[in-house]
Amino acid sequence: MSQHKEFLNKQVAIYNQTGFIELDPICIPHLFTKKQDIEIAGLFAAVFAWGQRNTIINKCTDLLARMDNAPHQFVVNHADKDLKKLLGFKHRTFNDTDLLYFVSFLKYWYSNHQSLETAFSIHLKPKDKTIENALNGFRYLFFSLPDVPQRTMKHIASPLQNSACKRLCMYLRWMVRNDNNGVDFGIWQQIKPSQLMMPLDLHVQRTAQKLGLLSRTQSDWKAVEELTENLRKFDKNDPVKYDYALFGLSIMPDFLETII
């Protein structure tokens, strides 16, 4: 496995560049400079991140336009009549019922807190090695408001459900990692990069299996734990930086032929 460390580090250097941003959903929060706008745009971009990447980006652009391209101001200050602009929005199984609940939670949270980070970080314990408790706590908190639509609960996953939590793991990567390469934002300080867990989708899973970094065949939280633990052997302080390498390799034809 040690021979893969040097190889993957080279791939990280290739893909962890600002050129990566344009065709990835992370381009959506990069449209903003205000912290709260980045958080909100990033959350929607992550939650929508399944399917064709250009469709994800287009749907996020549509949603933000309905919010006057000022998501923080919209969620905090909207009147009931403003919510009519959100009606009819749909991305795959996410519809306007789900959207209205998301907006109601964000209004509740930002009316009382400066950052969405604490919605995750308050659930961490001092000795937590990973973000597992943060993800479980966030889902419980997110759906703690009255009259939660049952259908909406499928859009926020947690390790308690043995979900891989790909989208939230990716979101936290965006918010927490800070390596000055201009891709991830590094605007959250209460969660450490060492605590992050790999965003596991079928592309990354397939690549990790071929490299011998993952033996588990199910795409679940146990697989995330196995893969992240193996990547910690390469970089214990920033294991999730290898997300770039594994995803980049997954979309490169015949990538195994490039290994060593």
Predicted confidence (pLDDT) at residue 258 exceeds the cutoff of 60: no
Residue 257 binned pLDDT confidence (cut-offs 50, 70, 90): low
Q: Which amino acid is at 210?
A: K
Q: What is the pLDDT of residue 250?
A: 81
Q: Which sign, positive or negative, has the C-alpha torsion 85, 91, 94, 95?
A: positive
H or E stretch covering 10 = helix 2-15
Contact 165, 228 (CB under 8 A): no
3-state secondary structure of 94: strand
pLDDT in tens, 165-185: 999 999 999 999 999 899 999
CA–CA separation, 177 and 243 (whole Å): 12
Predicted confidence (pLDDT) at residue 256 exceeds the cutoff of 60: no
pLDDT in tens, 57-94: 999 999 999 999 999 999 999 999 999 999 999 999 99
Predicted confidence (pLDDT) at residue 259 exceeds the cutoff of 60: no
Q: What is the pLDDT of residue 260?
A: 43
CA–CA separation, 154 and 158 (whole Å): 10
Predicted confidence (pLDDT) at residue 251 exceeds the cutoff of 90: no
Tokens encoding 123: 């659930």
**pTM value?**
0.95
Look at residues 174, 178, 222 and name the one whose alpha carbon lies nearest to residue 200.
222
Average pLDDT of the segment spanning 130-135: 98
Q: CA angle, 166 as apex, 227 and 76 as ends, to 5°? A: 145
